[in-house]
């Protein structure tokens, strides 16, 4: 990536990223969208990056480079963030245990889920659940 892009202010980076997106071929952008759709459709299966690259007719190296150029992050990080964000709905509902949620979203176990959740959100899922439930209860009581 161009060093000038890295030196820009945060709000200028998004416009720089848009110009990078514009420099990609339309077919490449469609392929990245298809890859993201595939990763969203199979959150618990953990398709390998090789399998995803093959599904969009790219080499692994080209796919990784292009995905990062378009999204600003790696496919693995993007997928983990989507899994965690998706799991927040089940956490808020409170119907499932953390272990059940972890397995439902493709994490190896409760500990793995907690580590990834804390890295992305900043708090462990159990703390986030209590906070989210109390916030929604407070909002309901104010009505």
> For residue 15, what pLDDT is reported?
52
Tokens encoding 27: 């077919």
Domain(s) of CATH 1.10.10.60: residues in the chain: 79-142
Burial of 62 (0-12, 13-18, 19+ CB in 10 A): middle
Question: What is the arithmetic mean of pLDDT over 46-75?
Answer: 92
Domain 79-142 belongs in CATH node 3.30.470.20? no
**How far is it, in rounded angstroms, from Cα 59 to Cα 50?**
8
3-state secondary structure (DSSP) of residue 126: helix
**How far is it, in rounded angstroms, from Cα 15 to Cα 4?**
13
Q: Which of 21, 43, 45 is nearest to 33 (CA)?
A: 21
What is the pTM assigned to this prediction?
0.71
| pLDDT tens string 20-48 | 455 567 788 999 999 999 988 876 666 88
In contact, 52 and 12? CB cutoff 8 Å: no
In contact, 81 and 105? CB cutoff 8 Å: no
């Amino acid at each position: 990536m161009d060093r000038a892009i890295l030196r820009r202010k945060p709000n200028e980076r998004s416009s720089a990223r848009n110009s990078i997106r514009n420099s990609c071929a339309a077919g490449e952008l469609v392929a990245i969208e298809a890859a993201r759709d595939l990763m969203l459709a199979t959150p618990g299966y953990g398709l390998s990056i090789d399998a995803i690259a093959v599904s969009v007719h790219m080499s692994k190296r080209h796919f990784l480079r292009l995905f990062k150029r378009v999204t600003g992050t790696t496919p693995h990080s993007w997928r983990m963030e989507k899994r965690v964000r998706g799991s927040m709905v089940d956490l808020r509902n409170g119907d499932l245990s953390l272990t059940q949620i972890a397995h439902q979203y493709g994490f190896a176990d409760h500990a793995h889920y907690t580590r990834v959740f804390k890295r992305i959100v900043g708090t462990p899922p159990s703390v986030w659940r209590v906070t989210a439930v109390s916030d929604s209860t407070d909002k309901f009581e104010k009505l």
